[in-house]
């Protein structure tokens, strides 16, 4: 059973009707009615030792910061701002007090930077691995929340920043290949160890009224765009040539013998924003990118069909040369479905 099949099973059993609930399972955050004209956004993400991080190379401060950022990213993806945080820590017996202190310095420092406050949580013993679960509660104007489900055929697909950086950074860490420090490669390693959530871009995009649908890129473009397509009942064609790569990505790819397009399409944890808007909004969005302090790149188009397709460089408009890439990103339970 794959991750999304399990989530579908959970959603089927949970039900989704309750007064005050605007959106339950299926978007970056649950959306609840808030004060008049406002909504509450609620999200939870877990980081598990050996699955999401390796303590032998992940400095505890940066892990603390990342634990906050990955959750804040989901709030940003709906156009909101984070307010409150809950932290559940599962630690093996005999954990180092110094590790906990450094982790919490990073965690609370990151909360302050994003303007939210740690208000509760839970502390438990874990058999042998560190498990970090974080809930973030955010807020947004009710008429500015951006869902995954409102993309329209013909929309331009945009991404913020550049792609594949965190995946390349992870591979550099695994290979021990980023020492001695090289500033270009260090930036990729930093993208893996200490990602930043795109809060400014998310708020500006939501307030602009230009964006139809939005999601953050946690599992990789191929998987996250597939989620957006499913929720919007539409398809997508992405052009490999248009994917935004930074120079360091090419440097790391050649050092590690990896395909940069594959890193950009399937690599997870960039925490960039993917959004769609009418083609007529292009000039306004490019202006907004300057204000948000990042690049916005048009990478493809939403279609009336289904599935996510990658148009390879030089293949022209020939449909036969497009490859289907839906859900080719990170899956916690890959492999064939089993009953």
Distance CA 285, CA 158 (A): 9
Q: Which of 1, 9, 21, 25: binder of ligand ADP (CB under 6 A)?
A: 25
Contact of residue 304 among Mg ion, ligand ADP, none (CB under 5-8 Å per partner type): none
Q: Show Cβ contacts of residue 207 under 8 Å, excluding neighbours closer than 6 positions.
A: 79, 141, 144
Site for ligand ADP in 28-67 (CB under 6 A): 28, 45
Contact of residue 117 among ligand ADP, Mg ion, none (CB under 5-8 Å per partner type): none
| Contact window for ligand ADP (CB under 6 A) among 22-30, 101-109, 165-173, 183-191 | 22-30
- Residue 270 interacts with ligand ADP (CB under 6 A): yes or no: no
Distance CA 310, CA 211 (A): 22
* Residue (of 122, 119, 144) closest to 131 by Cα position: 122
How buried is residue 201: exposed, middle or buried, by Cβ count under 10 Å (0-12/13-18/19+)? buried
- Residue 21 interacts with ligand ADP (CB under 6 A): yes or no: no
Q: Where are the beta strands (DSSP E) in 98-210?
A: 117-125, 131-141, 156-160
Give the x/- contact pattern for Mg ion in 58-97, rule: CB under 5 A. Answer: ----------------x-----------------------
DSSP 26-82: TBSSEEEE-STTEEEEEEEEEEEBTTTB-TTTS-HHHHHHHHHHHHHHHHHTTT-EE
Q: Show Cβ contacts of residue 22 under 8 Å, excluding neighbours closer than 6 positions.
A: 31, 32, 33, 39, 145
In this structure, the number of other CB atoms found within 10 A of the CB of residue 175 comes to: 11
Q: Which residues pair with 235 in a beta bridge?
A: 303, 307
Nearer to ligand ADP, 28 or 272 (CB): 28
Q: Which residue is nearest to Mg ion (CB)?
A: 28
- Residue 239 interacts with Mg ion (CB under 5 A): yes or no: no
Query: Nearest approach, Cβ of 236 to Mg ion (angstroms)?
Result: 17
- Residue 28 interacts with Mg ion (CB under 5 A): yes or no: yes
Tokens matching residue 320 = 């036969």
Query: Nearest approach, Cβ of 330 to ligand ADP (angstroms)?
Result: 9
Q: Which of 110, 156, 162, 218: binder of ligand ADP (CB under 6 A)?
A: 218
* Residue (of 217, 80, 70) closest to 146 by Cα position: 80
| Contact window for Mg ion (CB under 5 A) among 138-146, 176-184, 212-220, 270-278 | 212-220
Q: Which of 49, 74, 155, 230: binder of ligand ADP (CB under 6 A)?
A: 74
- Residue 216 interacts with Mg ion (CB under 5 A): yes or no: yes
Residues that bind ligand ADP (CB under 6 A): 7, 10, 25-28, 45, 74, 218-219
């Amino acid at each position: 059973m794959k991750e999304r099949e399990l989530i579908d099973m959970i959603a089927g059993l949970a039900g989704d009707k309750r007064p005050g609930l605007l959106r339950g399972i299926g978007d970056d955050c649950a959306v609840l009615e808030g004060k008049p004209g406002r909504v509450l956004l609620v999200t939870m993400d877990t980081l598990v030792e050996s699955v999401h991080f390796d303590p032998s190379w992940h400095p505890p401060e940066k892990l603390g910061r990342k634990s906050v950022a990955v959750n804040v990213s989901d709030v940003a993806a709906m156009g909101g701002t984070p307010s409150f945080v809950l932290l559940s820590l599962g630690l093996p017996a005999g954990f180092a007090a110094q590790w906990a202190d450094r982790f919490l310095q990073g965690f609370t420092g990151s909360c302050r930077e994003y303007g939210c406050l740690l208000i509760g949580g839970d502390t438990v013993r874990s058999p042998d691995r560190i498990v970090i679960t974080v809930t973030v509660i955010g807020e947004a104007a009710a008429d500015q929340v951006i869902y995954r489900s409102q993309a329209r055929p013909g929309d331009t697909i945009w991404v913020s920043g550049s792609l594949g950086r965190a995946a390349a950074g992870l591979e550099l860490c695994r290979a021990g290949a980023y020492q001695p420090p090289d500033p270009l490669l260090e930036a990729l390693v930093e993208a893996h160890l200490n990602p930043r959530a795109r809060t400014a871009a998310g708020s500006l995009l939501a307030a602009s009224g230009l964006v139809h649908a939005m999601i953050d890129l946690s599992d990789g473009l191929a998987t996250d765009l597939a989620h957006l397509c499913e929720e919007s009942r539409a398809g997508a064609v992405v052009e490999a040539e248009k994917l935004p790569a930074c120079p360091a990505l090419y440097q790391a790819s050649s050092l590690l013998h990896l395909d940069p397009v594959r890193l950009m399409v399937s690599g997870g944890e960039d925490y960039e924003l993917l959004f769609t808007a009418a083609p007529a909004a292009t000039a306004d969005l490019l202006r907004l990118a300057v204000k948000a302090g990042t690049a916005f790149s048009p990478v493809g188009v939403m279609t009336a069909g289904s599935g996510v397709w990658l148009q390879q460089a030089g293949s022209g408009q020939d449909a036969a040369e497009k490859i289907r890439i839906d859900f080719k990103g990170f899956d916690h339970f890959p492999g064939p479905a089993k009953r």
